[in-house]
Structure 1
Amino acid sequence: MSALPRTRNSTAAMQAADARHHFKPFTDHKALAAKGVRVISSAEGCWLTDSEGVRLLDGMAGLWSVNVGYGRKELAEIAYEQLQELPYYNSFFQTTNPPVTELGEKLAEVTPEGIDLFAYGNSGSDANDTIVKLVRYFWNLKGKKKKKTIISRQLGYHGVTLGAASLSGLTNMHPQFDLPLPHFVEHVASPYWYRDGGDRSPEEFGIWAARELEKKIQDLGPENVGAFIGEPIQGAGGVIIPPASYWPEIQRICAEYDVLLIADEVICGFGRTGKWFGSDTFGIKPDFMTMAKGLTSSYIPMSAVGMGGRVAETFRNAGEDIAHGFTYSGHPVAAAVAVRNLEIIQREKLVERAGGDIGAYFQSRLRELASHRLVGEVRGHGLIAAIELVEDKASRSHFDPKRNAGYRCRQHSFANGLVMRAVRDIMVLSPPLIISKEEIDTMIGTIARCLDLTAADLGR
């Protein structure tokens, strides 16, 4: 096969073309056009290479998502084979295709017990948008048509469509678009012990945070509340690890008030937390699950909504057409890649790796950074982690946002060959599940250097 055609032969030309034509996500386009975009041109394993030949260790697995690492030829080959055999056909009109039927069987095998009915889409955002509709549909079928409100959490992230962004509790996503949409979502406290715990123990705080959901349900009236949605670990909110007491109490509350429980597994799913799903890690028994990212390791776009128990039974027996679906629902190429991706994860025991030796090594090495003068807390599970930067350890006080502590550290990270994301003043990491101990050592050394450089910038 010949090399892919290159319409631009220099970084400057690509930067100029990108500035003219590419409306990018979460970007100040005016500022970026003056600076010039970074061009990533190739990748292998855990490493990226930019258009200038600079290599970067990808501490974020793309966007929490390239679980099996880059350069997997068998994923490219299965996509090529499927493109030749059946590149596309829709799932409408009483039709299916072999890869998506196989994917359903595979997902039923690895998802929590009882989850065995799946709807497909293209992204985590559309999966959570689908959830909003399915919650309404479920309660309509049950004759409880007032149970429409969905409760989410502060600092939760569920996507960028109108519905999913409204569910999200990251308030910077709302003002530009007049969100959240009225009358269907309410937000409650997140289980962010380090910032909000005060004098409470983590266990006490976990119970308090969960009971904020109970208070909200009581305030709204249980007859008006349809569902609660939460990420097992809040990723984009800052890798917020809930205390052990939190999810069991959430489960109790949802059962007591007849509220559907939705686990947003878009980030946590497919091995990230050291189990197949964050629900496995925290003992959650969801009615709905949303999945994307690690489903295909981002080699091709695909999402899934998993349903089980009374939800699946109700939908199977509805006796009417459901007026929902996408052109690309159950796309055969995406499904074929997803199946092979899950086979790789199983064959190479990547979930066990994240939950075992490599995950433990990653967490242990990161905690060596806790003594740094800028680090208030290091937290994580499996191969997801956060390093929280503070001005004062004793009071857990953060820097003035105008000082851009997290942004400074992120810039130093890129300049020193490591992709590390900043969420406010929280440095977050989510490397491919194939990362080696040697690469973890490289990562830790680079982070230590970047913390020192950031401290110097801040006069610390």
Structure 2
Amino acid sequence: MSSPDLREGNSLASRDVKSLIHPYTNLSTHEKTGPLIIETGKGIYVYDDDGREYIEGMAGLWCTSFGFGEQELIDAAVKQMHKLPYYHSFASKSTEPGIVLAEKLLEIAPADFSKVFFVNSGSEANDTVVKLIWYYNNSRNLPKKKKIISRQKAYHGVTVAAASLTGLPPLHNDFDLPIQNILHTSCPHYYRFAHDGESEEDFSTRLAQELEELILKEGPDTVAAFIAEPVMGAGGVIVPPKGYFEKIQQVLKKYDILLVADEVICGFGRTGNMWGTQTMGMKPDILSCAKALSSAYLPIAAVMISEEIFQEMVRQSEKHGNFAHGYTYSGHPVPAAVAIRTLELMEERNIVEHVRSVAPVFEKCFKDLESHPLVGEVRVCGLVGAAELVADKSTKRSFAAKLAAGPTAYQFMQEEGLISRSVAGDNLALCPPLIITEDEIRDMFAKYKRALDRLEEIVTANNWREEV
């Protein structure tokens, strides 16, 4: 039986299909199947328009740290809306929420940052980072020092520059990306890319050597920066191997290359510290953050920079008359007010300590999945993790892409009442709200395992392991 044509109806799903473009969606399939319409949310749960409950195992898009319906954040938004619903920060204008939030960010920053620039999303933050790096080196009279090195499987956003930094081919295909001056070096995924018999330390040493070889090949005088997520999110929740960032930073320092930390997913408690850079021993010159900054209740993101970089920006603005970059909603007072209250609640409720207390249960539940016949590897850091599905555990052979093993498991999880995400192939990620309890974690993984068991039945019945 063919699926009904949703474009002909007048249900909410039909209206969606007739009016909306959905990101990261197979648009052809969507016209036939329509959306899952989420109507309400409370705590770690969301509810669809039929009243069915789901554990939001991805905190939306790695972002809703306080879950849904947090009244303190709602009240902060309403209060600020009454006081000043909008103002900009162009031409020396400012608002109290923007000033207070910048001060709070610098106070808790993981490095000696001097200034904060507000934007509206992680993509905008990383796009801004690229422009600031180029602006900075032009001010230093280093017009050739413009190349930025990212990593294969990295995710840094979807704007032209940020998608170029991203090391995932679907974000480049037929978008004519990456742009000039963006390079990619090896992905630090030990399970997939280590040589036989190579230890994690040896693997890290080799990746640092490959980075140095790339820098020397391009010319150190042309390479400006290296950008990295502490834990790679959409690339498959890839936790760096032992010694990785220590060795990478030695190479960067040797050639006067800036380190940019993309904390869009890892920032604000996700890894068991306030910042992923603290967890991984990174010392960045620039940091981008977003998502959990406001628990995603309103769009806001930020870029933090060192005083050295800022002073070069000052010189450039003297040269050109102003700093000609900014957004209509940069430092919008309402998202800023919500972000301030979010950071206050993190401290008042000891959220980082809570993450540390429940993370061992989260990790154990993931580790228990390693014995499942479909799971090749699990990767966990704090309250973010993923299981990688494989057709053959002994050889690490992946399932044929046409079988869509990961997306099928994702759909089964949704049917079991868990919203997960299939990232970078057959990697099934979880990144729940930071407020999740131990019992809720166990319930989440019970649903996760039931979905894997359902997939295993299909794999066995249809000989998926033999497909190539």
Q: TM-score, normalised by structure 2?
A: 0.94
Q: 1-side partners of 2:262 and 2:453: how far apart?
A: 36
Identify the match of residue 292 of structure 1 among 290, 293, 302.
290
Q: C-alpha distance in 1, partners of 2:373/2:346?
A: 38
Partner of 2:330: 329
In the other structure, the counterpart of 1:192 is 189
What is the distance in 2 between the residues matched to 1:459 and 1:365? 24
Deviation at 1:12, TM superposition (A): 6.3
SS in 2 for 1:267: coil
- AA partner of residue 192 (structure 1): H
CA–CA separation in structure 2 for the residues paired with 1:309 and 1:251: 20
Q: CA deviation at 1:315?
A: 3.1
The answer on whether the counterparts of 1:287 and 1:309 sit within 8 Å (CA) in structure 2 is no
Distance, in Å, in 2 between the alignment partners of 1:246 and 1:393 is: 26
Structure 1 letter corresponding to 2:443 = T
Match among 18, 33, 36 for residue 34 of structure 2: 36
2-side partners of 1:162 and 1:176: how far apart? 12
| Counterpart residue number, 2:381 | 381
Which letter does structure 2 place at the counterpart of 1:195? Answer: R
Partner of 2:427: 426
Partner of 1:62: 60
Answer whether contact 1:104 1:116 (CA < 8 A) is retained: no
Question: Letter of the aligned partner of 1:439 in structure 2?
Answer: E
For residue 170 of structure 1, what is the amino acid of its counterpart? L
Aligned to 1:115: 113
1:100-137 per-position Cα deviation (integer Å, ceiling 9, x unaligned): 10001110121113023110111001111101100001
The residue identity in structure 1 corresponding to 2:251 is I
What is the letter of the counterpart of residue 245 of structure 1?
A: G
Match of residue 82, structure 2, among 84, 89, 92: 84
State the match for 1:103 in structure 2.
Answer: 101
Q: Residue 390 of structure 1 contacts residue 396 of structure 1 at CA under 8 Å; is this kept in 2?
A: yes
Q: Which one of 210, 213, 216 corresponds to residue 215 of structure 1? A: 213
User: What fraction of aligned residue pairs are identical, expressed as a percent?
Assistant: 43
Partners of 2:178 and 2:316 in 1: CA distance: 31
The list of structure 1 runs, each at least 4 consecutive aligned residues, that deviate by more than 6 angstroms after superposition, is: none
User: Cα distance, 1:319 vs. partner?
Assistant: 5.3
- The answer (yes or no) to whether the contact 2:370–2:377 under 8 Å persists in 1 is yes
Q: Cα distance, 1:29 vs. partner?
A: 2.0
For residue 401 of structure 1, what is the amino acid of its counterpart? A
CA distance, structure 2, for counterparts of residue 21 and residue 300 of structure 1: 23
TM-fit CA distance, 1:391: 1.4
* 1:131 matched residue in structure 2: 129
- CA distance in structure 2 between the aligned counterparts of 1:203 and 1:388, rounded to whole angstroms: 22
Q: Deviations over 1:218-237 (max 9, x none)?
A: 10000001111111111000
Out of 393-402 and 213-222, give the one that drifted further: 393-402
Quick check: 1:68–1:344 contact (8 Å CA) kept in 2? no
* Alignment deviations for residues 344-388 of structure 1 (CA, whole Å, 9 cap, x no partner): 11111111222x220111111221111111111111110000111
User: What is the CA distance between 1:257 and its match in structure 2?
Assistant: 0.4
The SS at the match of 1:238 is coil
**1:459 corresponds to 2:460:** yes
CA distance in 1, matches of 2:293, 2:459: 40
Shift of 1:459: 1.0
C-alpha spacing 1:352/1:317, structure 2 compared with 1 (3 Å): farther
1:230-379 to structure 2, matched below 5 A, reads: 230-316=228-314, 318=316, 320=318, 321-354=322-355, 356-379=356-379
Is 1:174 the counterpart of 2:172 in the alignment?
A: yes
Task: Output the CA distance in 2 between the equivalents of 1:319 and 1:451.
Answer: 56
2:389 partner amino acid: L
Deviation of 1:309 (Å): 4.5
Please give the secondary structure, in 2, of the residue aligned with 1:377.
Answer: strand
Of the structure 1 ranges 57-66 and 198-207, higher mean CA displacement relative to structure 2 is found in 198-207
Q: Shift of the alpha carbon at 1:80?
A: 0.8
Question: Paired residue for 1:7?
Answer: none
How far apart are 1:317 and its partner, in Å? 5.4
Alignment deviations for residues 35-86 of structure 1 (CA, whole Å, 9 cap, x no partner): 1211000001000000011100011000000011111111111111111111
User: Contact 2:111–2:284 at 8 Å: present in 1 too?
Assistant: no
Q: Distance in 2 between matches of 1:116 and 1:152?
A: 24
DSSP-derived class of the 2:446 partner? helix
The Cα shift of 1:401 comes to 1.1
| 1:403-422 correspondence runs (5 A) | 403-422=403-422
Q: Is contact 1:126-1:161 (8 Å) kept?
A: yes
- Look up the equivalent residue of 1:118 and give its one-letter code: V
Report the 3-state secondary structure (helix = DSSP H, G, I; strand = E; otherwise coil) of the residue aligned with 2:55. strand
Equivalent residue of 1:43, what SS?
strand
Amino acid at match of 2:240: P
Secondary structure of 2:342's partner? Answer: helix
User: Distance between the aligned counterparts of 1:450 and 1:29, measured in 2?
Assistant: 25
* 3-state SS of paired residue (2:174): helix
Alpha-carbon distance, 1:316 to partner:
4.7
Q: How far apart are the structure 2 equivalents of 1:360 and 1:311?
A: 39
Deviation, 1:436, is: 0.6
Q: Secondary structure at the match of 1:346?
A: helix
Contact 2:268/2:293 (<8 A) preserved: yes
Q: What secondary structure does 1:176 align onto?
A: coil
Amino acid at match of 1:174: H
> Which residue of 2 is the match for residue 3 of structure 1?
none
Structure 2 distance, partners of 1:12, 1:197, is: 53
User: Please, which runs of 5 or more residues in structure 1 have no aligned partner?
Assistant: 1-10
What secondary structure is seen at the aligned counterpart in 1 of 2:260?
strand
| Secondary structure of the structure 2 residue equivalent to 1:49 | strand
Corresponding residue SS for 1:165: helix
Distance of 1:240 and 1:108 partners within structure 2: 28
Distance 1:316 1:249 in 2: 33
1:141 is matched with 139
Q: State TM-score, norm by structure 1.
A: 0.95
Match of 1:154 in 2: 152
- Is the 2:119–2:125 Cα contact (8 Å) retained in structure 1? yes
Aligned-pair Cα RMSD in Å: 1.3
